[in-house]
Structure formats: structure tokens, C-alpha cells
Structure 1
Amino acid sequence: MSIDFNKHDLLLIYGHFSKKIKKLELLKSMPDNPIDLESINQEIELFTSITSKIEEEHPSFLELKAHI
């Protein structure tokens, strides 16, 4: 099965997931974090897997990562 996302769709997904990864990493580093670390790590792994696939298809998106 294949989903046909256009570049704009992928850019929005990439930006959203990249922001989510940063927020989860920040939450993970907080000493009084109320969320289970395993759950956070699973979410980070999922979002990272997706953003990595997008980066493979569109390496120019990597330039945006510094601005997210």
C-alpha cells in the first residue's frame, strides 16, 4: 500500500513530528517528569523513524531542522 503525499504535506508532517521530538526530548530530560520514560522513548522512536524516512526522500528538509 502506498500513500501519495505531496511535498507540502510531507513538509507539514516533518515539521510537526520534528517539533514533537524536541518537546519529548525536553520532557524526558526533566527530573520531575511524570510520564514513563519507556512511553516517551517509544514515541520518540516512532516520530524519528518517520522523519528519517522523509529526510531520505527529501534531504533538503534537513536544513529546516535547525529552525524547528
Structure 2
Amino acid sequence: MTKPLTLIVFVCVGVPLGITTIRSLIPPDAPPFAAAFVYYATPLAMMLALLMAVLMAARFFSDRPE
């Protein structure tokens, strides 16, 4: 697999997996505001974290010789 394709696959698999995992940790008796915050803030936080990881990986791969 090429490097850009690897990064795309990483994001496409990692984002939904991370979102599902974190959302599943909300307890049933959680306060509504806290549950809503976690439920709606998780995708944004996960996408930002994976974007940072992809940018770091892209920089790492660009510094290495073939």
C-alpha cells in the first residue's frame, strides 16, 4: 500500500472505531448534559486527534529516505 493510502485507511478506520468506543463508555445514569457533551464532542475530538497523528506520520514519512 502506498503511504497516502495507508494514512487514508488509518483515518477511515480509526475515526469511527474511536468514536464508537468512547461513546460506549457513557454510563446509563450519566447526567444528560454530560452525556450529550461526550456524545457530540467525541467526533470532533477524535477527528482532531487523528488529524494530528496523520500530520505527524506524513512528516515522519517525508523525512525518511525511500
Query: How does the TM-score come out when normalised to structure 2?
Result: 0.42
**Which one has more relative contact order, counting CA pairs under 8 Å at least 6 apart?**
2
- For the pair shown, the structure with the greater C-alpha radius of gyration is 2
In proportion to residue count, which structure has more helix? 2
